DNA sequence: TGGACTTCGTGAATGAATGCACGAAGTAAT
DNA sequence: ATTACTTCGTGCATTCATTCACGAAGTCCA
């Protein structure tokens, strides 16, 4: 208890240390696992067990968690709900983040209706589209607004995260609109690289790209099985 | 031309060198950009230009491409269509990969209907579901089959990539079924860590997770703006 | 109380990825 | 042909990430 209070003290007085990006990416993963554990009334967990559940190495788990502070108890492990709280706090998930979805097509609607969002600290503040015929319909429990209202919505609701769910050819202008409206982070579902100011944080989701990565590995597997291929037409001709 | 033939010769005779995973992940990105360029009748591109389009550093682009062989021309750049061909070949995309989608719910149907798949070298061999009431309906131009037929489908159509689009609680058993049926790679949309043999390649897509990563960065931004927070309840009490 | 045991936290070693900087190899134009 | 210029390919240094390995700090039980 003493040690714990001490390190908390350090955390709040000293400015927040920067966490390596690789670790940041794993924190939501731990969070989800801890949530599940908590739902199962599990109160304690060791770095070893957590590592298994997360598909990681125990030392890595401990190091990742140590960036948050010293919240474990030697000889025992981590208190699930306390750790849960600390990770949530570090990720900024002790509040609910309003997000705005640009694009009310199939994808935009599916995202809006996805229940997992609200469970994980996000709320769809608005869905916007440029097509007037879509404005007024309902997606994700939210009436679709016109894209022209984006600045107003972002300002009034304090939105800082935007989700792009429009076809590739409109994605860049959607992104520009979001940035101009004042959004600081973007999650991009369109298969295109967005050109944005460096201070904007951006993550992308692209299924085709993921499949192509898998395709490479399957290809390697086939090559390894000795399926010799002469795959270059020029070398055949030559 | 001489040098080129030479390196191709080396490529096909020597066994394929292993490409670092970080580079593999970027190759599909270059591929997409080159495809767009090709559609715009652009025939040549320098590593510099490609780097800008991909949001990367030019040296990194050159190094990534060098893993495929020496396909550039000094003083000129890369031939778009030749490079396109080589990346496709390396990723195993000169053939079309049959994939099977497990889960015919909202997500499964959306994925099945997603046009980008066929354009990028994949074809939906089947959509399966365990719910008999869904069997027989059509998703993604494919009639939904019962999950019991999975082994048969995988074997007969030579499927090696499976996509999991079922709710989290069924994802592990869906994965087990896929593996038992003979699939070698899995793309997982369920928000859960799958426990699978090491030889199975797996990638995951999880929107909530991505948003939480962004949330962290927004949180940092707010902290940096000097919003001092006492966020630990115990330290307040103490 | 003390000794055996567990598990964290972290310094140090290893390994992977990135970016620089420069030689090599080409073009273009005089 | 020679010179000026462009751009690739890659060795090397650096930075970032992972893993090891061990001391510190706790529990548990006789």
Q: What is the pLDDT of residues A147-187, one digit of tens each?
A: 999 999 999 999 999 999 999 999 999 999 999 999 999 99
Residue B140: pLDDT band by 50, 70, 90 thresholds?
confident
Helices and strands (H and E) in chain B: how many = 11, 10
Residue A14: is its pLDDT beyond 60?
Answer: no
Residue B227: per-residue pLDDT: 58
- From-to residues of CATH 1.10.10.10 in chain B: 2-91
Residue A3: pLDDT band by 50, 70, 90 thresholds?
very low
Q: What's CA B122's distance to the chain center, in Å?
A: 11
Check if A118 contacts B (Cβ < 8 Å): no
Residue A90: per-residue pLDDT: 96
CA distance B48 to chain A (A): 15
Say how far apart CA B204 and CA B163 lie, in whole Å: 10
- From-to residues of CATH 3.40.50.720 in chain A: 97-209
Ramachandran category for residue B95: left, alpha or beta (phi over 0 → left; psi -120 to 50 → alpha): beta
Nucleotides of D under 7 A from a protein CB: 5-11, 16-21, 23-27
Q: From residue B200, how far is each of A169, B89, B126, B164, B224 by CA, in Å?
A: 35, 22, 20, 14, 42
Q: Are A166 and A174 in contact (CB under 8 A)?
A: yes
Residue B4: is its pLDDT beyond 80?
Answer: no
Residue A13: per-residue pLDDT: 33
Residue A9: pLDDT band by 50, 70, 90 thresholds?
very low
A211–B120 CB contact, under 8 Å: yes
CATH, domain B2-91, list 3.40.50.1950, 3.40.50.1980, 2.30.40.10, 1.10.10.10: 1.10.10.10
- From-to residues of CATH 1.10.10.10 in chain A: 2-90
Residue A15: pLDDT band by 50, 70, 90 thresholds?
very low
Please name the residue that has the structure tokens 């995988």: B154
Q: Are A106 and B197 in contact (CB under 8 A)?
A: no
Structure tokens at B91: 């990723």
Residue A11: per-residue pLDDT: 40
Residue B88: per-residue pLDDT: 97
Q: pLDDT tens digits, residue range A61-81? A: 999 999 999 999 999 999 999
Strands of chain A (E only): list them.
44-45, 72-73, 77-79, 97-102, 122-129, 138-139, 142-146, 161-164, 185-188, 201-204
Q: Which residue of B has its CA nearest to A14?
A: B228
Helical pair B80-91 and B21-39, crossing angle rounded to 10 deg: 140
Q: pLDDT tens digits, residue range B199-218? A: 999 999 999 999 999 999 99
Contact residues for B215 (Cβ-Cβ < 8 A; gap 6+): A91, A92, A93, A97, A121, A122, A161, A185
Report whether CATH 3.50.50.60 matches the domain A2-90.
no
Report whether CATH 3.40.50.720 matches the domain B97-209.
yes
């Amino acid at each position: 208890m003493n040690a714990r209070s001490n390190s908390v003290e350090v955390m709040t007085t000293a400015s927040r240390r920067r966490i390596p990006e690789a670790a940041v990416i794993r924190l939501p993963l731990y969070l989800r696992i801890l949530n599940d554990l908590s739902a199962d009334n599990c109160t304690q967990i060791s770095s070893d067990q957590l590592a298994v559940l997360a598909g990681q190495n125990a030392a890595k788990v401990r190091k990742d968690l140590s960036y948050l502070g010293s919240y474990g108890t030697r000889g025992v492990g981590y208190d699930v709900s306390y750790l849960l709280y600390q990770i949530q706090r570090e990720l900024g998930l002790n509040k609910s983040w309003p997000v705005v979805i640009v694009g009310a097509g199939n994808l935009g609607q599916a995202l809006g209706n996805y229940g997992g969002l609200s469970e994980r600290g996000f709320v769809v503040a608005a869905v916007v589209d440029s097509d007037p015929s879509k404005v007024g319909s309902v997606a994700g429990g939210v009436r679709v607004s016109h894209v022209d209202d984006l600045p107003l919505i972002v300002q009034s609701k304090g939105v800082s995260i935007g989700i792009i769910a429009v076809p590739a050819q409109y994605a860049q202008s959607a992104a520009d609109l979001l940035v101009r409206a004042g959004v600081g982070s973007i999650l991009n579902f369109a298969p295109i690289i967005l050109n944005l100011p460096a201070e904007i944080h951006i993550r992308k989701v692209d299924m085709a790209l993921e499949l192509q990565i898998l395709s490479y590995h399957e290809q390697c597997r086939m090559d390894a099985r000795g399926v010799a291929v002469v795959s270059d037409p020029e070398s055949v001709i030559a």
